[in-house]
């Protein structure tokens, strides 16, 4: 069945093209407009850029909007829909089955659809079907895995440390917003280069839990460093900043309390100087490495979820309202999956 309230698509699935570039991008509040003026639905995250267009000509123009380095993948028709479904279900993320990506895609679509461009109107029915199918895949194949999010993994890493003193959160972007609600059991200190963003995050946390102690650290570098010297734990949700990082590491080492941990989610697996000198450091890359020890059950569930994405894409290619194969010939198409 089509998503409730969704109109029938005016473009066929075979005309939809998706371009995917995997690279280090800072997730923006809104995906950028194409330099060429191309009407495209773009999604930027910290791991990738994805663009959705209609037609081969638009896909060729969209290629020019991507960095020249890195591998660019292109999908068309049912394969494009299957990729978007895996993307929305968290199956393309390094943290497999993460939950935050679905919200990021919905927010990107909300901002794009507000432009009321021709492409937004054409894609709207397909996007609504995509959201419906992504929820179904997660419910049927990933619902029993427990929470898979940056916030939940950060909370597990802190363990008992979370209740031993204040936790300083550096940054107030999407990553910090997804992690902050998980930092229970201790006072949260928020610092961001743009103070207004930290205040907004503090307000959101207060709405969720009015009793939670949240403090915004006001001021520039010296105020931030003073918080580093007093915090029990620090979680960094911004990329490495050479001009500040040396001072941050020095301030951390000046603490009287030698317990605690620094979780730097802006560093890759190889880390970076001067952070590598801290034995209590956990980088984003290290977090991914720890999560690679998946159980056999989780691996099989992921495989079933990926197959379900391809099956749903093939069914959608038979017709937007398709939920079941149409005939024995259609059933045969799944034998190759």
The whole-number pLDDT of residue 129 equals 96
Closest CA to 282 of 190, 163, 170, 157: 157
As a whole number of angstroms, the distance between CA 286 and CA 268 comes to 8
* Model confidence pLDDT, tens digit, residues 254-265: 998 778 899 998
The whole-number pLDDT of residue 333 equals 39
Q: pLDDT band for 335, please (50, 70, 90 cuts).
A: very low
CA angle 155, 159, 162 (to 5 degrees): 75
The whole-number pLDDT of residue 330 equals 41
Q: pLDDT band for 270, please (50, 70, 90 cuts).
A: low
- Every domain of the chain with CATH number 3.40.50.720 lies at 150-290
CATH-assigned architecture of domain 13-146+296-336: 2-Layer Sandwich (3.30)
192 class by beta-carbon count within 10 Å (0-12 exposed, 13-18 middle, 19+ buried): buried
How would you classify residue 207: left for phi > 0, otherwise alpha for psi between -120 and 50, otherwise beta?
Answer: alpha
The whole-number pLDDT of residue 1 equals 39
State which of 86-95, 228-237, 239-248 shows the largest mean pLDDT: 228-237
- Every domain of the chain with CATH number 3.30.460.30 lies at 13-146+296-336
Extract the tokens encoding 299.
């691996």
Residue 222 pLDDT > 80: yes
* Model confidence pLDDT, tens digit, residues 177-190: 989 988 887 789 99
Over residues 49-77, mean pLDDT: 90
Q: By three-state DSSP, how is residue 41 classified?
A: strand
* Model confidence pLDDT, tens digit, residues 45-59: 877 899 999 999 999
Residue 87 pLDDT > 70: yes
Q: pLDDT band for 125, please (50, 70, 90 cuts).
A: very high
pLDDT, averaged across the chain? 83
Fold of domain 150-290: Rossmann fold (3.40.50)
* Model confidence pLDDT, tens digit, residues 287-311: 777 656 544 667 788 889 999 999 9
* Model confidence pLDDT, tens digit, residues 184-213: 877 899 999 989 999 999 999 998 888 889
Closest CA to 22 of 52, 47, 53, 41: 47
Higher confidence at residue 26 or residue 102? 102
pTM: 0.57
Closest CA to 216 of 188, 237, 193: 188
Extract the tokens encoding 334.
């799944």
Closest CA to 285 of 263, 308, 314, 312: 263
Q: How far is CA 72 from the centre of its chain?
A: 19
């Amino acid at each position: 069945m089509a998503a409730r309230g969704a109109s029938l698509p005016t473009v066929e699935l075979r005309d939809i093209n998706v371009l995917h570039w995997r690279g280090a991008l800072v997730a923006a509040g809104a995906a950028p407009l194409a330099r060429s003026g191309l009407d495209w639905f773009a999604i930027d995250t910290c791991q990738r850029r994805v663009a959705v267009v209609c037609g081969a000509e638009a896909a060729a123009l969209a290629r020019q909007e991507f960095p020249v380095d890195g591998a660019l993948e292109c999908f068309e028709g049912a394969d494009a829909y299957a990729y978007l479904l895996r993307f929305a279900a968290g199956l393309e993320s390094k943290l497999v089955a993460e939950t935050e990506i679905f919200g990021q895609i919905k927010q990107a679509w909300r901002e794009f659809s507000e432009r009321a461009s021709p492409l937004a109107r054409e894609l709207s029915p397909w996007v609504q079907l995509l959201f419906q199918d992504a929820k179904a895949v997660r419910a049927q194949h990933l619902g029993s895995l427990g929470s898979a999010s940056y916030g939940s993994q950060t909370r597990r890493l802190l363990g008992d440390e979370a209740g031993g003193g204040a936790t300083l959160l550096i940054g107030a972007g999407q990553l910090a917003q997804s992690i902050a609600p998980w930092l229970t059991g201790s006072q949260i200190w928020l610092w961001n280069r743009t103070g207004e963003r930290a205040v907004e995050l503090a307000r959101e946390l207060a709405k969720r839990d009015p009793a939670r102690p949240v403090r915004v650290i006001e001021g520039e570098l010296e105020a931030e460093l003073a918080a580093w010297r007093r915090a029990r734990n620090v979680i960094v949700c911004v990329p490495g900043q050479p001009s500040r990082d040396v001072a941050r590491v020095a301030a951390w080492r000046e603490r009287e309390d030698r317990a605690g941990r620094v979780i730097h989610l802006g560093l890759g697996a190889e880390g970076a100087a001067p952070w590598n000198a801290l034995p209590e450091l956990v980088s984003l890359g290290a977090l991914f490495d720890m999560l690679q020890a998946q159980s056999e059950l989780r691996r099989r569930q992921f495989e079933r979820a990926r197959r379900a994405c391809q099956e749903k894409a093939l069914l959608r290619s038979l017709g937007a309202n398709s939920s079941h194969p149409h005939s024995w010939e259609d059933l045969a198409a799944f034998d190759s999956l």
